[in-house]
Chains A and B, each alone.
Chain A
Amino acid sequence: MSDSHGAYFIPEPSKWPIVGTLALFVSFSGGAMMLNGSGPGTVVFGLGMAALIYMFAGWFADVIGESLKGVYSDQVDISFRWGMGWFILSEVMFFAAFFGALYYARVLSVPWLSGEGSGLATNTFLWPDFEASWPLNVMPDTSNFAVFEETIPAFGVPALNTALLLASGVTVTLAHHALKKGHRSSLCWWLAATVALGFIFVGFQAQEYMHAYSDLNLTMNSGIYGSTFFMLTGFHGFHVTMGATMLLVVLVRSMKGHFSAEHHFAFEGVAWYWHFVDVVWLGLFIFVYWI
């Protein structure tokens, strides 16, 4: 019997999954009540989110405790790797839905609205004056939408943000190399740099949003351009925030010396996630901002 299969690890019964389920249930209920404008929605949602944070803290504390006790065999480590890898693929597919919407609108539905292809009748009978353009700043029916003059140019803050994220990809790799060589202080400095770059990115992005909303009149209500722009960059920004938070946890754990040169799945999982966020940004930079 090979060593890796010699002892199986099965966790004891745990309260965290059911706590997490209840937290999500309360959050979703509260969120739905908020959207419907019914009374206690905000409070319910807040309680749910608090419970969710409690669950994450508690569940991860258990896992970290088990990891430090050394009960995780190589096999468990590999299970975690498969889990994280396929989770990231599911995230890729989530973004694919919004990228798909962007391509569909740009390549097909906006030209159809101006009468191309089989869209002649729509154009003639509904919006004969509509002309297709991208960015689509004048919608077929402007009465309900925020018409905007200009968009955020690619080669300004977005290009700077690209540089920041790409640099953070380098720093996290340098941190990994330091970890594998057992240089803890160098690991911590590179990780801290990665976290900082991540949060600076989010800060710039927030600034861009404020600029778009207050100066450009480019909002979520700006037709299909505003919809795809804010949905894609918004979900990406959310993922950067999550990734940077996860990196922050890994930084604290690195400072406490939780990781060894051989065993540091938490670090690698977060690094994978960070690279995924990076790659999504490149797609955004090219297709949302640039071309």
Chain B
Amino acid sequence: MSEAVSHEEHHDDHDHKPSGIGRWLFSTNHKDIGTMYLIFSLIMFFIGGAMAMVIRLELFQPGLQYVDPQFFNSMTTVHALVMIFGAVMPAGVGLANWMIPIMIGAPDMALPRMNNMSFWILPFAFTLLLSTFFMEGGAPAGGWTMYPPLVGQLGDGFPFLIFAVHFLGISSIMGAINIIATVFNMRAPGMTFMKLPLFVWTWIITAFLLIASLPVLAGAVTMLLTDKFFGTSFFIAAGGGDPVMFQHIFWFFGHPEVYILILPAFGIVSQILPTFARKPLFGYESMVYATASIAFLSFFVWAHHMFTVGMPLTGELFFMYATMSIAVPTGVKIFNWVATMWRGSMTFETPMLFSIAFVVLFSIGGFTGLMMAITPVDFQYHDTYFIVAHFHYVLVTGAVFALFAAVYFWIPKWTGNMYDESLGKLHFWLSTISVNVLFFPQHFLGLAGMPRRIPDYSIQFAEWNQISSIGGFVFGVSQLILVWVVIKCVRGGEKATDQVWEGAEGLEWTLPSPPPFHSFTVPPQISDASAH
């Protein structure tokens, strides 16, 4: 069989690999599309990051220095939209594209043409969104949550914002459908569900969340559009509607959305920790069930984003308890990761360092989340820098750190070359120290009462803001190391073996590095003995 495989590879490499720009524009290849997703995500990470730098620069000292308040608000709004929809989600889908087919023994994604469209929508959708900076009335400035009536005050950019969200939704739903069809239908013989690598599991569940929640966002923004242009009054109290209703519908999407951002990160960490601890993942099945529980519960906790909006007491209590219950499956995952490392034969390559940092720092973000789940306490923290600190701990030191880990973990497989380990470690240490300098003081600022999304602040917040800004600048500059590592690794370096890492297990490590253009042209057989 191995002869047949290598013959097929040979055949594919020379006859079917398209050349020129057409290879990318018309691609039906999961690796090429995955690569485009990842590069796009990296570019958006820097665009969104540049906006964060503007925010931290303005907040470096009290008073209005560099940008006017409207532009500052555009920065916070578009920074969020770019990072969520342009950086973290596409990075997750890019990894899914690259890794899922080779992890389950498939030749490609189930629906390769649709896969291409899912990707190519992204640059065009962000063209729509970012073009608003040059329009009458400027870019969206009412917060990424687009709450009415404020969002309706946006000028010519308003319909572009709405349609950009629709466009991104189409992309994500198509991507999610593709992932489900791939995993359910393209697994190699013998690859049963309970043998799937955990990254694949977390992506199935994420895909369900995407399909169930993004259409709701599409509906919500459609109502914003008709309220503004077609005379409806969904969110206008004078007509019998309710602006708070938007918040409910938005967060019915929004809370599953935050798990869409973090579940693939859970999957990544669950691949990396066992590899470098040289032990199987502790509690594989409980990891699967915990992930599914988190996803299921995520549909019943949305109103914890709006405790102070004026809900009936029963609502406040229900959403408080429901939210806290998510800590149970999340705790299961954290303990399983710790138990995986327990007495492992650990080494600390860059992916492992980022993963360990993920476990520690994501837990901090989780704990502050629990604090805010307590309704009466949230009344103090709501819309302060405390929430900013919270979600940056879960999204930057959580989701983004896991994505960094994934890049270091799999880039030898993608390029066939080892990355520069000392540069990787430098990237890790600079990022980890600076990110804490950046975000940890924001807890103090929030508890002391500094509101979010305001370009100016009272004088007593100056010191911690300065420290936070310095951390931010260092963190921003440190990310250039990642770009350098990636470029260097693509250009050459020590050749990677097929297995790459000593403790690596799974189908993706049986393929050559880099893998052939079409991963498995003949399905591999999965023996009963092979573990996840």
A interface residues with partner B (beta carbon < 8 Å)? 1-2, 5, 8, 10-18, 20-22, 24-25, 28-29, 31-32, 35-36, 38, 59, 75, 78-80, 82-83, 86-87, 89-98, 100-101, 104-105, 108-110, 112-113, 117-118, 122, 126-127, 136, 139-141, 144-145, 219-221, 223-228, 230-231
Contact = CB atoms under 8 A, between A and B. Distances in A.
Interface string B66-107: 000000000000000000000000000000000000000011
Interface stretch (B244-252, B333-341, B500-508): B244-252
Contacts of A38: 156
Contact of A17 (B116, B181, B233): B116
A90 B232 contact: no
B40 to A, nearest CB: 13
Interface in B153-178: 156, 159-160, 162-164, 166-167, 170, 173, 176-178
A231 to B, nearest CB: 7
A15 B212 CA distance: 29
B108 A10 contact: yes
A117 B312 contact: yes
B239 A139 contact: yes
B12 to A, nearest CB: 10
B216 A86 contact: no
A100 B249 contact: yes
Contact of B186 (A2, A13, A59, A79): A79
Contacts of A36: 156, 159
Interface string B171-196: 00100111011101110110000000
Given A25-B127, A109-B242, A113-B237, A221 B185 contact: no
Main secondary structure, interface of B, reads helix
The bracket for how many chain B residues form the interface is: 35 or more
Contacts of B23: 13
A134 to B, nearest CB: 9
Interface string B193-223: 0000000000000000001111110111011
Contact of A1 (B25, B232, B522): B522
29 contacts: A1-B522, A8-B107, A8-B108, A11-B28, A25-B127, A28-B160, A32-B128, A36-B159, A75-B185, A89-B212, A90-B212, A94-B218, A97-B219, A97-B220, A97-B222, A97-B249, A100-B248, A101-B219, A101-B234, A108-B242, A109-B242, A118-B310, A136-B240, A220-B231, A221-B232, A227-B241, A231-B223, A231-B232, A231-B234
Contacts of B114: 17, 83
B116 A18 contact: yes
Nearest to B121: A21
Given A17-B114, A140-B237, A94 B232 contact: no
Contacts of B312: 117-118
Contact of A28 (B111, B156, B163, B248): B163
B167 A28 contact: yes
A82 B110 contact: yes
Contact of A25 (B116, B124, B173, B522): B124
A201 B459 CA distance: 66
Contacts of A226: 232
Contacts of B113: 11, 14, 16-17, 59
Contact of B163 (A14, A32, A98, A110): A32
Contact of A105 (B211, B214, B241): B241
A119 to B, nearest CB: 9
Nearest to A84: B177
- Of listed A117, A219, A221, A224, residue having the most chain B CB within 10 A: A224
Contacts of B184: 82
Contacts of A86: 176-177, 180-181, 211
B382 interface: no
A75 B523 CA distance: 13
Contacts of A109: 237, 240-242, 244-245
A66 to B, nearest CB: 11
B523 A5 contact: yes
Contacts of A231: 222-223, 226, 232, 234
B147 to A, nearest CB: 15
Contacts of A90: 173, 177, 211-212, 214-215
Interface string B438-479: 000000000000000000000000000000000000000000
A20 B117 contact: yes
Given A28-B166, A110-B240, A224-B239, A22 B124 contact: yes
B46 interface: no
Given A101-B245, A105-B245, A139-B238, A82 B28 contact: no
A80 B186 CA distance: 12
A186 B169 CA distance: 40
A236 to B, nearest CB: 13
Contacts of B163: 28-29, 31-32
Interface in B219-269: 219-220, 222-223, 225-227, 229-234, 237-242, 244-245, 248-249, 252
A35 B25 CA distance: 31
A82 B239 CA distance: 42
A108 B314 CA distance: 13
B283 interface: no
Nearest to B520: A8
B518 interface: yes
Interface string B354-387: 0000000000000000000000000000000000
B180 A145 contact: no
Contacts of A13: 18, 22-23, 26-28
Nearest to A92: B215
B231 A219 contact: yes
Given A105-B242, A140-B237, A21 B120 contact: yes
Nearest to A62: B113
A97 B215 contact: yes
Contact of A227 (B116, B166, B170, B232): B232
B192 to A, nearest CB: 15
